[in-house]
Amino acid sequence: MLRTLTAIAALLIAPVLSAQQAADAVAPETGTDTALSLTTAELQSAWERKQAGQPVEAQNWMISAANPLAVEAGARILRGGGSAADAMVATQLVLGLVEPQSSGLGGGAFLVWYDADTGELTTLDGRETAPLAATPRLFQTESGEPMGFFDAVVGGRSVGTPGTPALLEEAHSRWGRSPWPDLFDDATRMAEDGFTVSPRLAALVTADAERLALHPQTAAYFLPGGEPLQAGDTLTNPAYAQTLRTLASDGADGFYSGDIARDTINTVRSAPNNPGVLSDLDLALYSVRDRPAVCVAFRIYDICGMGPPSSGALSVGQILGMLDHHAPGHPNDPHSWRLFGDASRLAFADRGRYMADSDYVPMPTKGLVDPDYLATRAQLLQGETALEEVAPGTPEWDHAIIWADDDSVELPSTSHISIVDAAGNVLSMTTTIENAFGSRLMTGGFLLNNELTDFSFRTHRDGVPIANRLEPGKRPRSSMAPTIVMKDGAPVLAIGSPGGSRIIPYVAKTILAWADWGLDIQQAVSLPHAVNRFGGYDLEPGTWAEAMQPKLEAMGYQTRIRDLNSGLHAIEIGTILRGAADPRREGIAFGE
Ligand code: GLY
């Protein structure tokens, strides 16, 4: 089962950035505490290990995230003795500047925490909420039909009450060791002095220029002088620096009330063509929820993560829980992918029927991951060819409610941070503003989310209500799957990814590859993708996944060759720490 390094190397996809581009993305060392800064050589070495398909190894602490500047900010905190929660705050604040298209203060996040002192897992829900004035028909035309996706996304209509600022404060108040204002130093300095625009940000700005041009503040920032930002440009963001200074001194209150709140509400409510209904009451009422972790047994592990309103842990858990009854023996065997793909389709069928914000709709949360239920679903995988019919199951439930299947759209976006600190605390957080560049509305130097489009645009189907329909105050269903894998009560892996609803197969597949196929964590992260959610198989171009196309089609699958832009960031926790970052994106893992 164990593969040789040479064989593994042949499986890896081509690097997306050259080493020189990585070096260009590294900030000059002009920070206030340069003694704790990472050197360019250290960052370069982390980049090269990723591109060579090798994990970064460390003894004490580790961070893996989507941009070297953000990793550096978190690493400086860890190097100075800060906790994983402290490092996450510093990392998120820099991500909001250098990777603004994916996450930031205007969005939401889910956080999974393993506490080394107590041995307990905590999951925090910092998901956006629907404004109290939003109606279930928010995304329908006058005739009751679903709006076009981008007609709904761009403007104020799609903006939910942001949760990230409250989540940062909550995590710091529970687990922080560093002074709160110190966590803002790097992001504030970079916003004032400027940072180097990365190739990925520049490419996405160019691709989205038409929509970014629709709102003056957004256009002025991303399209200065009417032209898209270019890779290598130095970009300052004084408005973001001002926002950070307010949060550093006033905490999250400085976001949910006062000038920032007023500007946020004005921006949403006065968006031309597509105004929203967010109010000061929505901001004032926002709270982070502490929810029970969802854990599912797979082999010798417990796969633990974020329950409703995320479908992440339930669906990842269902896929692996079904595969626990089978042996997908080898990544080059198409039958491994038949098992994985059909387990995934069965999980997505349950997701579309049952999963939503359980504060608003009854959900068979326990039934969906009950071992007997998963064993029954796993029996459906016994054939030799693709399942012809895939329908939701009937998990045990104490409610007699019938739901219709939803039709929400989730396009790839989002970012993931994994951190282990020197005390052994583990953090796995997936963070988002939903679509790339969110609602395209900008205020205070940050983009506002379009998270409400994660609700089903339809409320009913043939008179039967849809669980994930929009309701005032409700949190839209997510696919984010920040995960901590446990063995005998101790954490052994932190992992998560962006990618819209493909997050679920990205995370499940990587855990499968790591646990069953003998790959180290970087090899598992770099492994080409073959993902199936609704019947069709998406295969990563230029890899052996593409070469599997004829065999999968012979089994009865429709296939599509397409880019699959995961952004997996993972840390394996053993006698040493091994960090991995996705070669499809700009991130790195770094530790010492
Ligand atoms: N908007 C991405 C997610 O929550 O899954």
Q: Name the more confident of 342 and 398.
A: 342
Do 536 and 566 have their domain in common?
A: yes
Say which amino acid occupies 408.
Answer: S
C-alpha of residue 384 to centroid of ligand 1, in Å: 33
User: pLDDT-derived band of residue 32, with 50, 70 and 90 as boundaries?
Assistant: low
Which atom of ligand 1 is the closest one to the Cα of 501?
5
C-alpha of residue 474 to centroid of ligand 1, in Å: 15
| C-alpha torsion 425→428→431→436, nearest 10 | 140
Over residues 267-295, mean pLDDT = 97
Do 143 and 266 have their domain in common?
A: yes
**Residue 44 domain flag:** no
| Catalytic residue IDs | 414
Task: Note the pLDDT of residue 328.
Answer: 86
**Residue 49 domain flag:** no
User: pLDDT-derived band of residue 19, with 50, 70 and 90 as boundaries?
Assistant: very low
C-alpha of residue 479 to centroid of ligand 1, in Å: 5
Task: Note the pLDDT of residue 401.
Answer: 74
CA of residue 287 relative to chain centroid, distance: 20
Task: Note the pLDDT of residue 330.
Answer: 86
Q: What is the mean pLDDT of the chain?
A: 92
Residue 355 scores a pLDDT above 90: yes
**Residue 89 domain flag:** yes
Q: What is the pLDDT of residues 545-589, one digit of tens each?
A: 999 999 999 999 999 999 999 999 999 999 999 999 999 999 999
**The domain spanning residue 325 has which CATH number?**
3.60.20.40
Q: Are 141 and 459 in contact (CB under 8 A)?
A: no
What is the C-alpha to C-alpha distance for residues 161 and 58, in angstroms, rounded to an integer? Answer: 39
Do 184 and 157 have their domain in common?
A: yes
Domain C-terminal end among 426, 461, 496: 461
Domain C-terminal end among 461, 491, 525: 461
How many structural domains is the chain composed of?
2
Task: Note the pLDDT of residue 6.
Answer: 27
Question: CA distances (Å), 120 to each of 115, 123, 301, 327, 512, in order?
Answer: 5, 10, 16, 31, 24
Q: Is the CB of 478 under 6 A from ligand 1?
A: yes
- Name which residue sits closest to atom 4 of ligand 1, judged by CA: 478
Do 222 and 340 have their domain in common?
A: no
Task: Note the pLDDT of residue 400.
Answer: 67
Residues 6+ apart with CB under 8 A from 503: 312, 414, 430, 479, 480, 481, 496, 497, 566
| Top mutation candidate among 159, 434, 447, 450 for ligand 1, by most atoms within 8 Å of CB | 434
**Residue 31 domain flag:** no
Do 356 and 489 have their domain in common?
A: yes
Q: Is the CB of 410 under 6 A from ligand 1?
A: yes
C-alpha of residue 5 to centroid of ligand 1, in Å: 35
Do 313 and 456 have their domain in common?
A: no
Closest to 106 measured CA to CA, from 247, 312, 290, 248: 247
* Residue corresponding to tokens 């205070």: 444
Residue 250 scores a pLDDT above 60: yes
Task: Note the pLDDT of residue 403.
Answer: 77
Q: What is the pLDDT of residues 405-417, one digit of tens each?
A: 776 665 657 999 9
Do 537 and 441 have their domain in common?
A: no
What is the C-alpha to C-alpha distance for residues 254 and 476, in angstroms, rounded to an integer? Answer: 25
Helix, strand and coil percent figures for the chain, each rounded to 5? 40, 15, 45
Q: Is the CB of 158 under 6 A from ligand 1?
A: no
Do 143 and 233 have their domain in common?
A: yes
Which atom of ligand 1 is the closest one to the Cα of 435?
1
Q: Is the CB of 435 under 6 A from ligand 1?
A: no
C-alpha of residue 10 to centroid of ligand 1, in Å: 32
Residue 490 scores a pLDDT above 70: yes
- Name which residue sits closest to atom 3 of ligand 1, judged by CA: 478
Do 371 and 491 have their domain in common?
A: yes
Do 195 and 266 have their domain in common?
A: yes
Do 332 and 373 have their domain in common?
A: yes
Closest to 12 measured CA to CA, from 592, 591, 589, 580: 580
Identify the sign of the CA torsion 23, 25, 30, 32. negative
Strands 108-114 and 121-126: antiparallel
320-356 burial, b at 16+ Cβ within 10 Å, e below that, comes to: bbbbbbbebeebeebbbbbbbbbbbbbbbbbbbbbbb
State percent of the chain over pLDDT 90.
88
CA angle 569, 448, 244 (to 5 degrees): 75
Q: Name the more confident of 577 and 21.
A: 577
Q: Is the peptide bond before 136 cis (omega within 30 degrees of 0)?
A: no
Q: What is the pLDDT of residues 38-95, one digit of tens each?
A: 888 998 999 999 999 999 999 999 999 999 999 999 999 999 999 999 999 999 999 9
What is the C-alpha to C-alpha distance for residues 108 and 451, in angstroms, rounded to an integer? Answer: 8
Where is average pLDDT lowest: 20-29, 220-229, 422-431, 483-492?
20-29
pTM for the model: 0.94
Domain C-terminal end among 401, 431, 461: 461
Task: Note the pLDDT of residue 413.
Answer: 72
The number of beta carbons lying within 10 Å of the beta carbon of residue 123 is 23
Over residues 470-481, mean pLDDT = 98
Where is average pLDDT lowest: 20-34, 235-249, 533-547?
20-34
Domain that includes residue 231, residue range? 69-106+133-289+411-461
Report the length, in residues, of the chain: 592
